[in-house]
Amino acid sequence: MSCAVLMVYVDPDRVPEQLVRLAAHLADKFNAALIGLSAVAPLVADGLLASEMSPAHIEEIRAKLGDKGNWFRNAAGAIHRNIEWRPVLEVPTEAVAREARSADLIIIAQHEAWRDVYAGLDPGGAILRVGRPTLVVPDGVGSLRVDRVVIGWKDTREARRAVRDAIPFLHDAARITIVEICAFDEEGAAQERVDDVARYLNRHHIIGSPRLIPQGDGSDAALLSRLAQDDGADLLVTGAYGRTRLGEWIFGGVTRELLTTSPICCLMSH
């Protein structure tokens, strides 16, 4: 398992310098190529579709993405790296979902709220569709040492994929904690599950420490975030959308909360 190609989404209306630098440093860590992707939707002001735009307007958008590409290369230090820039005239989430075929890992910024689908990337929608592990980076985080990692375990397909996808990150971690949040009457079964995950990682020459956390009054996402911070972790690994996305919006859920509130980077897989 390796990360040979990373892809970072660059919002054309922001200056995500720390996000790009983090992506470039990870590319160095894995000796990987780095693809920068930026997209502008084909729907513009006054309801005009791309087919109805004037050639001058289309050229204006292309120039904007071209300028962003020059900025990206400078921010990432392109002279010393294998870097590619992909400007796309499309809804951002659609563009990321399609272009993800070219990468092993997708890197996106955390957003406090889901903006207009035509104006910005929908992180949840992207994670559901890319078929790749996705690293969600909070604002203000410009580096990722992957020294201490917390794995938020739940016995689901998504969590199993997340652990497997995280292996390239886990090999160099100094401390890995495998956590399951469980009810009091489930401790025995939960202990068996996290022990099994630890044995699986050990067969990949990775040492992880199993740990159980009793369910509390707060949300599971808040418990995981607090544990990760107390443990000095800089990466939280979880499955994404173990229940339907609609269910999370109606009832709440770990993925939804982590996507908007986690203070540290989250590696998620669906």
Exposed (0-12), middle (13-18) or buried (19+): which is 68, by Cβ within 10 Å?
A: buried
* Alpha carbon distance 270, 262 (integer Å): 18
Residues 118, 181 share a domain: no
Residue 142 lies in a domain: no
DSSP 217: S
Q: How many domains does the chain have?
A: 2
Residues 159, 99 share a domain: no
Exposed (0-12), middle (13-18) or buried (19+): which is 5, by Cβ within 10 Å?
A: middle
Residues 103, 193 share a domain: no
Residue 143 lies in a domain: no
* Alpha carbon distance 258, 156 (integer Å): 17
Residues 162, 82 share a domain: no
Give the residue-averaged pLDDT of 142-147: 94
Q: What pLDDT shows up at residue 216?
A: 81
Between residues 210 and 119, which one has the greater pLDDT?
Answer: 210
pTM, to two decimals: 0.92
Residue 113 lies in a domain: yes
**Is the model's pLDDT at 218 over the cut of 90?**
no
Task: Write the pLDDT tens digit of every residue in 28-68.
Answer: 999 999 999 999 886 555 555 555 566 777 788 899 999 99
Mark which of 91, 109, 137 sits at the end of a domain: 137
Residues 53, 173 share a domain: no
Note down the domain range covering 120: 5-137
**Is the model's pLDDT at 113 over the cut of 60?**
no
**Is the model's pLDDT at 107 over the cut of 70?**
yes
Mark which of 85, 107, 137 sits at the end of a domain: 137
Domain CATH number, residue 230: 3.40.50.620
Residue 130 lies in a domain: yes
Give the residue-averaged pLDDT of 180-192: 94
Give the pLDDT band of residue 251 (cuts 50, 70, 90).
very low
Mark which of 118, 137, 156 sits at the end of a domain: 137
